[in-house]
């Protein structure tokens, strides 16, 4: 089996296989989403995630097919006309594009890959209903801090604040009391195969949704917030979800809670420090970012060597890394720093990168 340092789909957690098998043998693949057995699973996953991410108890957690689907649901369900997007990479840009495709009138502040925002100074129009940020830009490894997001919320308390934590959850500390919505998919640091999107929603969001309904805004038909909230009261879902993935996510979150999220974050910091210190000595690599906007989980390097050559040479040793995203695919490599990979894996990666000729 290969070792995946890709930023998602990524390395599967060593415990995942046993968790999935146990679920299958306990009929989790066959139960109804209106059964007591399913309600217990939903509640368990909800509670473990709330503990892991320090999410307030009055927030709701909903499941969709993917984080990409959630982009669409967020715009449809919370924006009548004006969303505002902080775009510092390709995924933030796609979210912005979704708002345009859905017939809203989004605005954006667009900066170059790797640049950040000065939230103390930026001006957002007063009619903006939703502010969209990307806590961790998977495409280029640019991160926003808890403090930056808090500044934004304090300056614009009347707009809903949403952030993309797809590739940082659970390693980046997010203060949900300043966030109205966040979302992620499970094939990143949660170390599962793809097929489930997770949408974390504050009570404030339901009020906004009701206003949209009152104003006869087109909110879509599937996975609308009224159906989500109504079913959530009873630990159910609007239609049959990916029950196996919901079960496994709860178990992985429980495993992470046993270790402790602080311990996981310290391990991630230690691995990042090791990788940075070793990769500094590799002549063909230079870090794309330096300083506070550098992601903990997605490490991006510029390279003077051929990206394809590096990727191919590592693959021969069973190590899979990512190319840069989009326009950066021929000049960057991306390395995931996720919990399913330990220090030994990082040492193997460093040795392979050093041997790369």
Binding residues for its own copies, rule: CB under 8 A, are 1-2, 4, 6, 8-12, 16-17, 20-21, 24-33, 64-66, 68-69, 71-72, 75, 97-99, 101-103, 185, 187, 192-196, 218-224, 238-245, 320
The interaxial angle of helices 243-259 and 261-279, nearest 10 deg, is: 80
Q: Is 126 helix (H, G, I), strand (E, B) or coil?
A: coil
Using CA atoms of 317, 319, 323, 324 in order, give the dihedral in degrees to the nearest 10: -130
Shortest Å, Cβ 352 to its own copies:
17
CB closer to its own copies, 88 vs 242: 242
Shortest Å, Cβ 152 to its own copies:
24
**Residues 171, 150: contact at Cβ < 8 Å?**
no
Shortest Å, Cβ 16 to its own copies:
8
Shortest Å, Cβ 276 to its own copies:
24
CB closer to its own copies, 6 vs 293: 6
Neighbouring residues of 351: CB distance < 8 A, sequence distance ≥ 6: none
Please report the beta strands in 192-277, taking only residues with DSSP state E, as ranges in sequence order.
197-201
Q: Is 255 helix (H, G, I), strand (E, B) or coil?
A: helix
**Dist. CA 183–CA 136, nearest whole Å:** 11
CB closer to its own copies, 55 vs 108: 108
From 180, 197, 65, 172, select the one nearest 133 (Cα to Cα). 180
CB closer to its own copies, 56 vs 103: 103
Residue 157 — left, alpha, or beta (φ > 0 → left; ψ -120 to 50 → alpha)?
alpha
CB closer to its own copies, 17 vs 330: 17
Shortest Å, Cβ 245 to its own copies:
6
Neighbouring residues of 84: CB distance < 8 A, sequence distance ≥ 6: 106, 107, 108, 109, 124, 125, 128, 130, 131, 132, 159
Peptide bond into 90 cis (omega under 30): no
CB closer to its own copies, 211 vs 239: 239
Shortest Å, Cβ 195 to its own copies:
3
CB closer to its own copies, 73 vs 208: 73
Tokens (6 digits) for 166: 């797809």
Shortest Å, Cβ 281 to its own copies:
28
Q: How long, in residues, is the chain?
A: 357
């Amino acid at each position: 089996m290969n070792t995946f340092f890709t930023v998602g789909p990524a390395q599967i957690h060593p415990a995942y296989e046993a968790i999935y098998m146990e679920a299958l043998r306990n009929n989790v693949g066959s139960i109804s989403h209106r059964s007591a057995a399913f309600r217990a699973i939903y509640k368990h996953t909800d509670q473990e995630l709330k503990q892991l991410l320090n999410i307030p108890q009055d927030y709701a957690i909903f499941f969709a097919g993917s984080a990409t689907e959630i982009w669409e649901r967020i715009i449809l369900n919370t924006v009548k006309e004006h969303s505002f997007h902080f775009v510092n990479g390709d995924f933030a840009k796609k979210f912005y594009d979704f708002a345009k495709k859905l017939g809203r009138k989004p605005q954006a502040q667009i900066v170059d890959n790797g640049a950040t925002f000065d939230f103390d100074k930026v001006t957002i129009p007063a009619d903006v209903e939703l502010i969209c940020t990307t806590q961790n830009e998977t495409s280029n490894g640019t991160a926003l801090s808890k403090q930056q997001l808090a500044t934004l919320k304090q300056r614009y308390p009347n707009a809903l604040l949403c952030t993309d934590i797809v590739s940082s959850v659970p390693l980046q500390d997010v203060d949900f009391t300043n966030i109205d919505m966040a979302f992620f998919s499970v094939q990143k640091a949660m170390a599962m195969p793809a097929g489930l999107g997770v949408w974390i929603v504050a009570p404030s969001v339901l009020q906004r949704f009701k206003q949209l309904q009152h104003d006869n805004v087109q909110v879509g038909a599937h996975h609308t917030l009224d159906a989500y909230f109504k079913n959530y009261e009873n630990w159910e879902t609007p239609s049959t979800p990916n029950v196996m993935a919901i079960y496994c996510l709860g178990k992985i979150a429980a495993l992470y809670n046993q270790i402790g999220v602080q311990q996981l974050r310290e391990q991630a910091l230690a691995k990042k420090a090791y990788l940075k210190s070793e990769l500094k000595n590799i002549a063909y690599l230079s870090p794309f970012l330096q300083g506070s906007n550098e992601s903990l989980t997605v490490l991006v390097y510029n390279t003077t060597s051929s990206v394809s050559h590096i990727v191919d040479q590592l693959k021969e040793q069973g190590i899979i890394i990512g190319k840069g995203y989009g326009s950066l695919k021929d000049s960057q490599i991306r390395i995931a720093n996720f919990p399913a990979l330990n220090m030994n894996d990082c040492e193997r990666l460093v040795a392979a990168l050093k041997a790369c000729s």
